[in-house]
Chains A and B, each alone.
Chain A
Amino acid sequence: MFRPGLALQLTRAVPRRFASTVAAGENEFVAKRAAMREHATQTTDLWKKISFFVCIPGIAVCALWTYKAEMAHKAHAAHAGNHAGGGDHGEDATDEEAEHGGRKVYSYMNIRNKPFPWGMQTLFFNPEINIPAEEQ
């Protein structure tokens, strides 16, 4: 099944250190493995400290900052009575552009050439913020 001649040819053509798991010169291979493990032992502790004492507090601080900013944004939106922005551009609108709750809908907005497979509204449609498309 396996011609000895071909096998000999192959083993001679391919340098053994690429073709074998053990013939790399056992010492070099073992030394590399040992160095890797040694490196990992030192760096595991470093990455543990980075994970627990830098990343997690960083996420907590950033989450708090985001929460505060979002709450301030919500309060401001409720006060203004219209969360959807863009109303200040109203004077630029032409006749063919509709208006929705003080917000101009320009010709390139809220485009529907046909319904989505699930209906007229977009997948992440939020009736409190987005302008609804007309049902067909």
Chain B
Amino acid sequence: MTNAVSQPRYQFQFHPFHLVEASPWPLLTANATLSMMIGAVLYFNGIAHGSTLVTLGFLATLFAFILWFRDVTTEGTYLGDHTLMVQKGLTMGVSLFIVTEIFLFLSIFWAYFHSSLAPTVELGSQWPPVGVTALNPMTVPLLNTVLLLSSGATVTYAHHALIEGNRRAAIVGAGLTILLAVMFTALQGLEYMEADFTIADGVYGSCFFFSTGFHGFHVIIGTTFIAVAFFRIINYHFTAEHHMGLESSILYWHFVDVVWLFLYAAVYWWGSDGVF
């Protein structure tokens, strides 16, 4: 009696919602992130074995994420738990998460403008402060802007190709996006090494590396997000109609892209004070 039609009525759910089953991953994630946080505090304060604890905490968090997302992937891809209603809820969740991210960056920009709009007398009442040479916005930062905007185009190519049912083009588009993202991160690393100033050079260094560093961190997360979607396309996880993982990664990627445009305009271009 395995035929769905012949099964008793009570074995069907009367609603489109996903009632999740008991899972060990939230507790494991909580423990892992707590260990990572305590380890980081010990490490920052130079206390013995802090580096070991922060490394183990990070690895535990990584494993918890992989195991948790593996379950979510199974539920959405193979068990049919992600109905249209559930997809709507998940998309709303991703959007709200991005809203919290926008407010995080709002506070970072606030710190930057607080210090740069009316530079203190001690800095020579100018921005960049006396003795600090800003990076030239017309060289590598401009190339990085072109790279990120291009990655927005290639990811749209991948998305529309997937809806069209063109598997090969979807893989090419997503792969190109990852390539451009990795190039961006590499160039940012190069710029960090070539910068005249460091994070220890007063409020200029603090604001520059705080804003671009957090953005770079988000680029790495977004690249990982798209890379997961890329491998799921290759593994036939997505259909033309149901590919929430890819869509969420695209939403996140556009957010990272827009933050960069603001960073480029405010920190790199306006912040270099027309030196170049």
* CA–CA, A54 and B149, complex, Å: 11
Q: A47-B160, A124-B198 are in contact. List 14 more A-B contacts (CB 8 A).
A: A2-B14, A48-B157, A62-B143, A65-B139, A65-B142, A84-B133, A103-B131, A106-B129, A109-B202, A110-B201, A124-B189, A129-B194, A130-B196, A130-B198
Instruction: Contact check, B130 vs A86: say whether CB atoms are below 8 A apart.
Output: yes
For residue A115, CB closer than 8 A to chain B, the reply is yes
* CA–CA, A75 and B173, complex, Å: 38
Considering the complex of A and B, which 6 residue pairs feature the smallest CB-CB distances, nearest first?
A108-B202, A55-B150, A40-B163, A85-B133, A47-B157, A86-B131
Instruction: Contact check, A56 vs B150: say whether CB atoms are below 8 A apart.
Output: yes
Instruction: Contact check, B131 vs A104: say whether CB atoms are below 8 A apart.
Output: yes
* A-B CB contacts (within 8 Å), total count: 154
Q: Could you give, for residues 40-71 of chain A, a 1 whenever the CB lies within 8 Å of some chain B CB and a 0 otherwise?
A: 11011001101100111011001101100110
Instruction: Contact check, A124 vs B166: say whether CB atoms are below 8 A apart.
Output: no
B130's partner among A36, A66, A70, A92 (CB-CB below 8 A) is A92
For residue A111, CB closer than 8 A to chain B, the reply is yes
> Which of these binds chain A: B42-50, B57-65, B71-79?
B42-50
A44 and B166 in contact, given A62-B143, A69-B139 (Cβ under 8 angstroms): yes
* CA–CA, A75 and B208, complex, Å: 26
Instruction: Contact check, A44 vs B161: say whether CB atoms are below 8 A apart.
Output: yes
Chain A residues proximal to chain B, CB less than 8 Å: 1-2, 7, 10-11, 18-21, 33, 36-37, 40-41, 43-44, 47-48, 50-51, 54-56, 58-59, 62-63, 65-66, 69-70, 73, 83-86, 89, 92, 103-112, 114-115, 117, 122-126, 129-130, 133
Give 7 pairs: A residue, B residue, CB < 8 Å, sorted on A.
A1-B10, A41-B164, A59-B150, A69-B139, A85-B133, A108-B201, A108-B202
A51 and B150 in contact, given A21-B84, A107-B122 (Cβ under 8 angstroms): yes
For A11, A18, A47, A84, the residue with the greatest tally of chain B CB atoms inside 10 Å of its CB is A47
For residue B93, CB closer than 8 A to chain A, the reply is no
Residues of B within 8 A of A105 (CB): 131
* CA–CA, A89 and B100, complex, Å: 42
A117 and B43 in contact, given A55-B150, A66-B140 (Cβ under 8 angstroms): yes
A53 smallest CB distance to B (angstroms): 11
* CA–CA, A18 and B63, complex, Å: 36
Instruction: Contact check, B194 vs A126: say whether CB atoms are below 8 A apart.
Output: yes
A50 and B198 in contact, given A44-B166, A107-B122 (Cβ under 8 angstroms): no
Instruction: Contact check, A69 vs B153: say whether CB atoms are below 8 A apart.
Output: no
A111 and B240 in contact, given A62-B142, A86-B132, A92-B124 (Cβ under 8 angstroms): no
Residues of A within 8 A of B193 (CB): 124, 126
Residues of B within 8 A of A129 (CB): 194-196
A86 and B133 in contact, given A51-B173, A110-B200 (Cβ under 8 angstroms): yes
Residues of B within 8 A of A69 (CB): 136, 138-139
A119 smallest CB distance to B (angstroms): 10
Nearest-neighbor residue (CB-CB) of A89 within chain B: B130
